[in-house]
Structures are given as structure tokens and as C-alpha cells.
Chains A and B, each alone.
Chain A
Amino acid sequence: MKQILHLRVNGQPFEVLAPVHHTLLEVLREEMDLTGTKHGCELGECGACTVLVNDVPTLSCLTLPVEVQNAEIATVEGMADGSTMHPLQTAFAENGAAQCGYCTPGILMSARALLDRTLEPTEDDVRQALSGNLCRCTGYTKIIDAVLQAGRDLKLRRAIHPT
């Protein structure tokens, strides 16, 4: 059975017709063509499908869209500001933090939630915040470097352009 869902994704309202039991991950990828969000297990064990729901990192493979109808959902596609990449994205690109890149969208979302809380996370904070995201390529080292660098960049940017 299909139903009409009202979702807000990356600041835009959407009306989507999807089977009721499909997960948010499936709806994003199959119904909305937002394939940036990845599936690594669909069991809540890898973090590849992480999106933000009202700024909280959430596993979209364990979320039913009906539960988040009134929430703000953010995916990796909404991270850049037009063609300007988010400092986290730039830092990932510059530091070689994405090898195959498959884990990257999920990790970016978790990292973004961390930097929303603090721009000066310790290495330990980063490890804790990203502990639900698996990466099989990088050994995590360069991801940690990238997140710390992005924190510094954002801080500098806010100092120059206070909002």
C-alpha cells in the first residue's frame, strides 16, 4: 500500500508517494533520487545512511518516513551552499579523507552535527561523534584530521563574518 508523504528535505517541501513500509533511506534514494545517502547494511550497523533529522544524526535505514513528516531532514546533497562546498566537504577533499567515498556522506552528516555543537572538538570528541560510522578504507586518521581542520576553518570564518 502506498501513501502520500509530506517531507522537508534540505529545506524544500516534497510530496512523495511511497509504500508505507519503505524506510526513509529507500524513499530518499528510490523515490527522490537523492542517492548521495548510501546503504551499507540497512540494519543500523554502519552509519552509511546517516542523515540529520532536526539536526540530530539519524540512521535513515531504521527510520520510517511517517515518523519524520514534520521534521527538517538534511542529506549530503544539501550541504553545499549552491556551488560553494561546506568547509567540512572542502576539508575532506583536501585531506584525502574520502578514499572510495562510500562512507563519506554519512560521516559528513555526523561530523556536521558535531561541528554544530562545537567548533573546537578534541580528537576524542570526533572519535565519539563518529563512532557509529564505519569506514573500511581510510583507517579514520585522515577523517579525524579533516573534521578538526573544518572546525578551525569554520571558527575562522565566523570570526571574520560574524552572523
Chain B
Amino acid sequence: MVTGQTHPDEARQWEKTMATATKEQETEFSIIGKRNPKIEAHQKASGETRYAGDIKLPRLIWAKLLRSPHPHARIRSIDASRALACPGVQSVITGADMPVTIGIMPTSQDEHPLAVDKVRYVGDPVAAVAAVDEETAADACRLIDVAYELLPPILTIDEALTREDVKIHEHSRRANVHREVHLDFGDVEGAFAEADHVQEDEFFFEGTTHAAMENYAAVAHWELNDKLTLWSSTQVPHYLHRELAKVFEVPKSRIRVIAPPVGGGFGGKSDPFSHEFAVALLSRRCGRPVKIVLDREEAFYTHRGRHPVRMHVKTGVKNDGTITAVHFQSILDGGGYSSYGLASTYYTGALLGVTYRIPAYKFDGTRVYTNKPACGPKRGHGTTQPRFAFECHLDKIAEQLGLNPVEYRKKILTPPYSETVNQLRVTSSAANECLDRVVEASDFGEKFRKLPYGKGVGVALSCYISGAGLPIYWNDMPHSGATIKVDRGGGVTVYCGVADLGQGCDSLLAYIAAEELGVEPGDVRVVAGDTDLAPVDLGSYSSRVTFMAGNAVLDAAQKMKRQIFAAVAENLEVPLERLAASWGQVYDTDDRTRCVTFEEAAILAESACGTLATVGSYKPPHLAGNYKGSGVGPSPAYSFTSCVAQVEVNTDTGHVRVEKLWLAHDCGRALNPVNVEGQIEGSAYMGLGEALLEESAFRQGLHKKPSFLEYRLPTFLDMPPVESIIVENPDREGPYGAKEAGEGPLNPVPPAIANAIFDAIGVRLDATPFTPEKVLRALARVPGGRGQGTGSAGIAGRTEQSDPRGLSRRRSSATESRPTATANGAGS
């Protein structure tokens, strides 16, 4: 494959295959693509669903964690005698009881289940108590005497980059740098020299948190036969399983992790957490089941949310806008531990080329440790921040060159079936159509630069992975496995290790099995999120489940279908290829009166081949490039989303109101349009919150907003109408052509809003969130920027206000970026 080039043969061939396949399938689908309710919808609408926090077992006792009040301190001693003397207290444990390092990435293991020797953020768990009830456990925590030796806290990126005298982790070679990555593709210097213009900008994306409505909860039962069962609100039962075995040094076969329905994850439940290890050990010590439910404030400190990222973007363009080179620098404020940070760092530089043709590319990423809660993956993991930066940056370039922002984007799109300069294989893409559809729906052409002063529209495009091409720990096994069992009553059970967080994966797996076997989704039972019962799925993260678990279930279902059809073909004396299955029947397509019910078919098949169970699995093709770091970014397929935002800015108060959002999302095929719309709308909501309201901000290591009153999630009153447009362009490798929908649609929302604000009032907001203060500050820098509320400003006038010096300079006078933001040190 050649960079940025379509492979005409391949593309044509696939288009042809897909066109036929699509046409054939469309007439045939009975479940796929239909607006079915989720299989668990009625339980959820009746309060019947049992989340981890709802579990009650006989002899259950409660646990509570003691957390550090200091951002950075050495633990001198811990004395639990007063706590242990409390009536009702069963056990107290500390870091010394589990002195094994853990971490989600095998290459950065820098955490302990409970702090050993040192605490690295306010809230770092130090000890845990089990007691007869939650209050007793909480009271006892306060009686644990911990002697701390305070250390100077590192609280900002700049301190982290320069303070050699204070090390949060001893392994940092330079100051408090966690990781530095440098990648270089093509002749970057030469390509910048060829450019007619060079645009440079600074951006800052503020940290935010997941704030799933369900708090973290776990119940452990270490039975006397030395087997542990842990129920936890986790997105990654499989990884948790591995970490538990490591910490407790017991065979994995003795541990069972169950993820009951999870009350929202968004990436926040993807790490192994202190409370999970604590309840397991306490249960082992006490011989009783132990339960813990974190409170809301603890959830804000547990965090693993979006990294605050400072970014410097430099792009060389020809006069017609063609990109010659991009140099992208990012510095991530990682907090106290690494979590997924290595992947997050690479992700900030990985995917820009998937949307736009970039022939030469340089990336420098640095992640630093600070004494704050650790950051990790949040919906859009590591790609949301650079997407914000790059889409605003492109908008500026378009503005400078006098190009329409939509036409400009369309002109520089990465074509389908091509390879990016950083060796990512791009396959199906309907990015072009996404832009067309969203422009049409929003009437963008009629509004852009034409609305009265104070009102504006903005556009952005983005992409996301349908699962990571490589697993977190290196292995040759499938990324997802599934078993299907058919019983004599025609009941179908799907077993798969995925965890349903509300994204609806249990239902999707049921739809796939139902479609293949010709039964109704309600006839399919899904056993998920259980490491004992279900084959491994790596977890519900990276938008991987529809694609990967979907393919695994499809594989198993097709094998089952072949077995059943073989038996039915013989019985009905019909050639196998003439059989089809739907609505509970297996029938001859030439003569529908020749048929058996699915139950009869199952009996025929079981009589012929014995007990009916099949397995399926999915492993992505080999996708990694030939350089270090090429493991982050590859995906078997990318989704694309475009967004238009329409805003109204009150120039007196600085308040930005989003009037409407339009999103068009290329999900390959919508297995259930209701679910896809739900993912688009939920993503739009979360993107809007990050753009306007939310920030995980800290003062002296203390969270400034550790509650819903202070950390402002958009409410029913804040949320504008969202028009979600599903663009179907079946992918050749996705199940029925499906790609991801759960994360991608978040990414274009913050930049579309920023670009709309520029259209409305002629100022650039290059740092999220776009608070009234920032809007007013930016307006104050524009000559005549305030008080222009009357009449509309012409495009030329507005451009002048905001960007009087044209291209090739670092910051426009009307740009509101973080005042201290410099990329100094990134990559140097």
C-alpha cells in the first residue's frame, strides 16, 4: 500500500462484493438493522437489574478504604491497633499485606493494591477495614494511625518536567517524566520547506472524569475451599482476573471474576482497583463475603479520567491547503500512576492521518507524573484532545486560505483502502458522506459566516478505532471468544466474556445469534462478564466489543447453523444451500411449506451430532507497523463522525449556549439503529460537557469539584437537541459490516463547538472548557470585541479582529489558550 493512495483494484473489488452482499442481506435480515428493544430493557425499566452494589450474600460484612490526605508523602508507620480494638471490626489490612506491583499495562507496573512506602495523590488508598457494617468500617478507618513524612508535591506539568530534586516515582529518568515517545515519518524538514504557509498553534484540553452514575462497587467471597469469586463493576473482568492471580499468588483457575451489569463505565472501570484487591484479601482473612461501595467523592479521586493535555501543532500547507507536513507535540498530565498512560500518550499522536492525508509526520509525546489522581482512558481515549486541537487548527488554516471548512476537509481526506504515513491500514470510510450529510441536515452552507453576530456554526470531523489491533499483554490468542449452546427446547445461550456497561453489547450478541439461527432475540440468553463460564473477551474498552465479540459470536453462530442445517437438510431432503432460518423456522427457500420449527431442528441436529455447542473466536489481522510504538493506533476498522454545532454566545456574560448538534456517524452498519443513535447522543452529550462545563481541576492536590454540584454534568436543561444521522457503509471485516459507535462520536463535538464560537463572535477558544470567563477574556483581547452585540460583523472584519497577523505565527491575539501553555520540553 502507498501512503494516502487508494488501491483501485482492491477498493473496487470490495465495493463490488459489499454491494452485492449488502443488497442480498438487506432483504434477508430479520433482526439486524431493526429497532428492537434491548434484551434486558424491561429489567432496566423496572429496577430489576442487579448491579454489583445490589448484591447481598449471607454473612456479608462491609469494607472501607482509608485514603491519604496528602498529595505526596512517605509512609513512616501504620498502627491499626485502635481500629482493631473497635467492636465490630473484623480485619485491617495495609499495603504490606499485598506488596506486589500492579498496573494495567505490562510495561508500566507502578501501583500497589494499597500504598506501600509512599502515597502519590490525595485519596491514594493506604489501608482497608472490614467490619460488620459500613459505618463501623468507616469509623475504624479514622482510628488507624498513619505517620507520614510529607514530601513536596508536584502539581503542574511544568514542575513535573523540571523538578529533578523530587521524584514521584524513582524510575523516572528525567525529572518526573513517565514516558517520552518520538516518532518521525517521511522527510518532515523537507516537507515543511516545501510548504507555502506554516501554521502553528497551542491548545490545551482540560482533564475530565467519567462520572458514571453507578459508583464503584465490589463483593468478594473467598470460600473455604480456597476459591475466590469477585463481583465487581468492571469493564475488564479478564484483566482483573489476571491481576488478582498475580497479587494473591494463586492459580487463575481458583479465581472467578463476575461483572454484573455495570451502571456506566466510559473507560473509568477499566483498571484493576484498590478496592477490588482489598475486599478479596479481607474476605480471605475473615472467611466471610465482603462488600465495598465507594462514595461519590471517592469516585472523583479514583478518576483514571481524561488526561489534561497541552499541545503544540505545526502544519505546513500549500496555497491550496494540501498538507505537506505535520509536527504534533503533546504533554500529558498523568497524575500519580501510569494506568493506561503509555497507550494514552501514543494515542495523542496516532490517528490524525486516518482522517487527513499527511505525507510527512513528526510526533513527540511526553507523559508526566504529578501528585494528582491518575488519569487513564475516557471515551475517545487519548484521541479526543488532539482531535480538538487539530480540527480547530484546520479551521484556522481554512480561514487563512479563504477556503470553506467543509470543502477543505473533503479535499484532504484520507481515501478509503489506503495506508497512513505512520503505517495504519485504513479500510472502509464514509467520511466524505458523513460531512455531506451533516452539512445538509444542518443547512451549514446557508448559515456559515452568515448568521448575525453572536450566533455561529462550526464543523469538525473525526475517526475512532473499532478495537485495538493489539492486546494489552502480548499473546497469540483470540481477542474475543464465544460459545453457543442450543438446548432441546430450542433455547439458545451465548457465552462471551464481555461486560455490558449499558452500551448494549449483550443485546448485540443476542441479535447476531438470533439472526443467524432464525430465532427471536428474546429466545437468546447471554451469559457475559463471567470468567468461569464464558470464553475470554479482553473487555469492554477501545470500542472493541461490537466488532470483535460480534465477530466471535458470528463465527460460533455460523458453525451452529451449519450443524443444524445439515441435519434439517437430510430430514427434509432439501439441498443444504436452499435452507434458511428466520422467525423460529428452518425452511426451504424454494418451498416455504417444507419447514421445521427451530426446536425440531435442534432435536434433529442433537440426534445427529450429539450435544449442540459451538465455539467462535476473533483475532484481528496482523496490523502493527515496523517501528516501536506501532502497536497503538492500528485497528481492524475505523469509524468516522462529522459534527456541526450551532451556538449562541452572549457577549455580555460570555455564556455559550449550544442550540443544536448534528452528528453523522459512519458505523459501517447499524446492528440496531436505536443503540447506535443512543451512542451518538450519549457521546454528543459527553463531548458537550467537556467543551463547556466539566473540568477535573485541583488545588494543592485537592480536587476542586469532587461532587455533582461542583463538577457540572450537563442536565436535562443544558442538553440541546441532537440530530443523529447513521451513515451505513458496510465494512468488509465487521460483523454484517458493523464498526464502532460508542466513542467516536464524542470527538468532533468540542472542536465543532469551538469553531462555531469563532463563527459567532470571531474569537478562538483554544483551551477547554469554554467557560464564560474564557469567552470574556478572549473578547477583551479583540479590539472592539465586546459590545459588538448589535448588527452583524462581516467576515473580513471579523477575521481581522481575530487574526490580524495571518499565518506563520504562534498565537492570535484573540486566542484564549492556557496562559502558561508552551510546548517547551515536549520532545526536547
Interface residues of A (CB under 8 A from B): 29, 33, 35-43, 45-46, 48, 75-77, 79-80, 85, 88-90, 92-105, 108, 126-128, 130-144
Please tell me if B722 contacts chain A, counting CB pairs below 8 Å.
yes
Pick from B42, B56, B707, B722: contact of A141, CB under 8 Å: B722
Which of B53, B678, B722 has a CB less than 8 Å from the CB of A99? B678
A89 to B674, Cβ gap below 8 A? Answer: no
Give 19 new A-B contacts, CB below 8 A, not counting A36-B47, A100-B263: A46-B213, A77-B46, A93-B45, A96-B41, A100-B502, A101-B49, A102-B213, A104-B44, A130-B716, A131-B716, A134-B713, A136-B213, A136-B713, A139-B683, A139-B719, A139-B722, A140-B681, A141-B722, A142-B674
Residues of B within 8 A of A38 (CB): 51, 213-214, 263
Tally B residues with Cβ within 8 Å of A. 55
Q: Is B685 an interface position by the 8 A CB rule? A: yes
Chain B contacts of A36 at CB under 8 A? Answer: 46-48
Cα distance A50–B721 when bound, in Å? Answer: 25
Instruction: Please tell me which one of the listed residues B37, B215, B261, B716 contacts residue A100 in the complex, with CB atoms under 8 A apart.
Output: B261
Given the contacts A35-B54, A43-B708, A43-B709, A138 and B715 also touching, CB distance less than 8 Å:
no
Given A33-B56, A134-B713, A101 contacting B45 (CB threshold 8 A): yes
B707's contact among A45, A135, A139, by CB below 8 Å, is which?
A45
Interface residues of B in 692-715 (CB under 8 A from A): 707-709, 713, 715
A140 to B16, CA, bound (A): 40
User: Which residues in chain B, 401-422, are within 8 Å of chain A measured between CB atoms?
Assistant: none
Pick from A46, A98, A130: contact of B45, CB under 8 Å:
A98
Report B108 CB to chain A, min CB distance, Å.
28
| B44→A93 contact, CB < 8 A | yes
Give the complex CA separation of A97 and B674 in angstroms.
9
Q: List residues of chain A with CB within 8 A of the CB of B266.
A: 136
B contact residues vs A (CB 8 Å cutoff): 37-38, 40-51, 53-54, 56, 210-215, 261-264, 266, 293, 295-296, 501-504, 674-675, 677-678, 681-686, 707-709, 713, 715-717, 719, 721-722
Residues of B within 8 A of A77 (CB): 46-47
Q: Chain B contacts of A140 at CB under 8 A?
A: 681, 685, 716, 719
Measured between alpha carbons, how far is A33 from B60 in the docked complex, in Å? 14
The answer to whether B717 and A128 have CB atoms under 8 Å apart is: yes
Q: Are B47 and A92 in contact, CB atoms less than 8 angstroms apart?
A: no
B211 cross-chain contacts in A, Cβ below 8 A: 136
Residue of B nearest to A22 (CB): B135
Query: Which residues of the other chain, B, contact A95 by a CB distance below 8 angstroms?
Result: 674
Residues in B neighbouring A139, C-beta threshold 8 A: 678, 681-686, 719, 722
Decide if A41 touches B296 in the complex (CB within 8 Å). yes
Q: Can you give 15 A-B contacts (C-beta < 8 A)?
A: A35-B47, A38-B213, A41-B708, A46-B213, A75-B47, A76-B47, A77-B46, A80-B46, A92-B41, A99-B682, A102-B51, A128-B717, A130-B716, A132-B715, A137-B502
- Residues of B near A137 (CB, < 8 A) are 213, 264, 502, 678, 682
Residues of B within 8 A of A126 (CB): 716
Contact status B45-A133, CB under 8 Å: no
Query: Is there an interface contact between B215 and A40, defined as CB atoms closer than 8 Å?
Result: yes
Q: Which residues of B contact A75 (CB under 8 A)?
A: 47
Complex Cα spacing A135 to B681, Å: 12
Bound-state Cα–Cα, A80 to B46, Å: 8
Q: A140 to B707: give the CA distance in the assembly, Å.
A: 21
A45-B709, A46-B213 known; A96 and B678 CB under 8 Å? yes
State whether A104 touches B713 (Cβ < 8 A): no
B231 to chain A, nearest CB (A): 14
- A124 closest partner in B (C-beta): B717
CB of A122 to closest CB in B, whole Å: 13
Task: Check B213 against A134 for contact (C-beta < 8 Å).
Answer: yes
B677 to A46, Cβ gap below 8 A? no
Contacting residues, chain A, for B49 (C-beta < 8 A): 101
The 8 A-B pairs at the shortest CB distance, nearest first, are namely: A36-B47, A100-B502, A101-B44, A102-B263, A139-B685, A139-B681, A93-B41, A76-B47
Residues in B whose Cβ lies below 8 Å from that of A128: 716-717
Q: Which of A41, A42, A99 contacts B504 (CB 8 A)?
A: A99
Please tell me which one of the listed residues A48, A131, A142 contacts residue B717 in the complex, with CB atoms under 8 A apart: A131
- Compute how far the CA of A85 lies from the CA of B37 in the bound complex, rounded to whole angstroms: 15
A130 vs B56: C-alpha distance in the bound complex, in angstroms?
31
Q: Which residue of A lies closest to B210 (CB)?
A: A136
Asked if A41 meets B707 with Cβ closer than 8 Å, knowing A102-B264, A139-B682, the reply is yes
A85: chain B residues at CB < 8 Å are: 42, 45-46
Q: Which residue of A lies closest to B504 (CB)?
A: A99
CA distance A134 to B214 in the complex (A): 11
Residue of B nearest to A77 (CB): B47
Asked if A133 meets B38 with Cβ closer than 8 Å, knowing A43-B708, A98-B44, A141-B681, the reply is no
CB-contact partner of B53 in A39, A46, A100, A105, under 8 A: A39
| Residues A96 and B44 in contact, CB atoms below 8 Å apart | no
Kindly report which residue of chain A lies nearest to residue B684, judged by CB atoms.
A139
